[in-house]
Structure 1
Amino acid sequence: MRTIKAIHKANYHPIADLITYNPLPSPKLRQIDPFIFLNHHGYQKYKPNNHGLPFGPHPHRGMETVTFILEGDIMHKDSGGHESVIEAGGIQWMTAGSGLIHAEVSSDKFKKEGGDLEILQLWVNLPAKYKMTKPRYIGLQKDEISSFSLDEGKVNVQLIAGEWGGNKGSFETLSPIFLSTIYLDKGSKIQKEIPAKENIFFYVVRGSVKILGEEIPFRNLIEFNHDGDTLSFEATEDAVIILGHALPFNEPMVAQGPFVMNTQAEIMEAYRDYQLGKFGSWDH
């Protein structure tokens, strides 16, 4: 059975009027290779005629973003020509690769009407061989994403990437990675086989869970030891979990601003390429 190495409480880092908690990276944890960054926005309620999300056009290179829309919506637009509005329960997967510019804002409808908002964004590293791959973006609504139930219907798994019990995730990934959003009723239990050599990403979004007798409330990231092939936990309240796992890349990582590369020289090159307009643009 996998045991807990450390519990990392998310730090409060508001962005303008957007409630934001950030458990990764932290002073005690640089990454859970290849998972490198998580922002948890909300939960909060926006009034009508609001400004919505504040993430105007900005560049990325060398990594991927996975965006979980629990409440509210997010309007994506990028220099590759992709546009979408993904609503509650949906997922966006963007591979920045060689570089693109994107904006993540609220829809005109949300800004006019307001409403509940809770959105998380996870950054996943790309191995060196894929750092300069062609950018791509896929946004799927809730009903387009693979899901299944466990524990007599008390657990619902939204399978984003990878496989679980014969079910296949909705997103194809460049390197093998498992990623899911798990909704648990109070008292429900899960047991999942995960090879001991893989790193586990486990973040409690809502509610609380118990692992080997230790209760962990929401807004905590759990770091696990590599001492077993089985992960087991139960919900002590209705809960939402983001669960991922993957083999670590074990490569040098230099992260600076919106770029994640293997060397400082590659970071400087990314800034130069962006300033030279190589990431593309669009009329805002």
Structure 2
Amino acid sequence: MDGNKKLVGDGFDVTSPMPGPRIRQLSPYLLIDHIGPMQIAPTDTPLGSPPHPHRGFETVTVVYDGYLAHRDTAGHDGTIGPGDVQWMTAGAGLRHAEMYDRDFARRGGKLELLQLWVNMPKADKLVPPKYQELRAAAIPSVALPDGKGSIRVIAGSYGGATGPASTFSPMTLLDLHLGQGADFTLTLPAAYNVGLYVVRGAVLINGDRPAKTQQLVVLGWNSADVQLTASEDSLVLVLAGAPIEEPLATYGPFVMNTNEELMAAIADFESGNMGKFPEDE
């Protein structure tokens, strides 16, 4: 399925295949935002997504090109670049900002990244916020058997490698780099929900389902073996995980289990209980 086009913040051109008219979630994954690819003109103006709140889930940002600066009211900050992944646990709640890195903005360049929203089990939704900055060098890569590509293991385990991300529910997040002609079988736990998002390129799935750039293919449960053939050089993000079988209540940047919990989140945000930045004082 194709994504909807939208503008996020004051500098992100976004394609979003989920949620949408045909799919609300692929539990535990709630959202896929594909930012770019876009060319950033040199600027001294801060651009990106200014401070905003979150509670009850995690944001996962995978950078392919460009540099993104993060800071939040829990005291975390950092800059991620090509190949890096940022895994932020909003938990009980915080405010954060995601802006172009200042040096990158001044010189300009290509920007492309993916951001996922990942649900959290009810028992963990109010844990203290956490921040994982996963550098490209710390993410293991597994070569394909035919030598025509590789699999970066961000979370979970695959091919004898274990990703560095710490998660609250079982999941596997893989970044596939496929050369033209790559043909292999991806093996995942049968109990996992499975989706494939084509960042760029063109692939054939299980011999009869073609997918191309910025398309999401939902395989759902019981998709233990997935045959992938790349008709051109391709980049595919594999989203797989055990579904969280709990009620879901969402409102903007808050993901909870009941409407009462949503109302509490809104009240906490409006009363300043999700933290302040120094400039707010």
In the superposition, the TM-score normalised over structure 2's length comes to 0.94
Q: Name the counterpart of 1:21.
A: 15
1:90–1:141: 8 Å Cα contact kept in structure 2? yes
Deviation, 1:234, is 1.2
Q: Name the counterpart of 2:187.
A: 193
2:253 aligned with 1:255, yes or no? Answer: no
In the superposition, the TM-score normalised over structure 1's length comes to 0.93
SS at match of 1:270: helix
Q: Encode CA deviations 1:52-78: one digit per residue, 9 max, x unaligned.
A: 642111110000010011100110101
Q: Which amino acid aligns with 2:6?
A: H
1:50–1:114: 8 Å Cα contact kept in structure 2? no
Q: Name the counterpart of 2:217.
A: 222
Deviation, 1:18, is 2.8
What is the identity percentage for the equivalent residue pairs of Structure 1 and Structure 2?
A: 37
Written as runs of structure 1 = structure 2, the 5 A alignment for 1:119-198 is 119-198=113-192
Q: Which amino acid aligns with 1:233?
A: L
For structure 2, which runs of at least 5 residues remain unmatched after alignment? none
Q: Partners of 1:209 and 1:147 in 2: how far apart?
A: 20
- Give the number of equivalent residue pairs: 277
2:121–2:168: 8 Å Cα contact kept in structure 1? no
Higher mean C-alpha deviation, range 145-154 or range 86-95: 145-154
Q: Name the counterpart of 2:106.
A: 112
Runs of 4+ more than 6 Å apart: none
Q: Which amino acid aligns with 1:135?
A: P
Q: Partners of 1:190 and 1:51 in 2: how far apart?
A: 46
Q: Encode CA deviations 1:205-236: one digit per residue, 9 max, x unaligned.
A: 10011012332111111111535421111111
SS at match of 1:9: coil
Q: Name the counterpart of 2:61.
A: 67
Q: Encode CA deviations 1:233-276: one digit per residue, 9 max, x unaligned.
A: 11111111110211111111111110000011101100111122
Higher RCO, 1 or 2 (CA under 8 Å, sep at least 6)? 1
1:151–1:188: 8 Å Cα contact kept in structure 2? no
SS at match of 1:13: strand
Deviation, 1:116, is 0.5
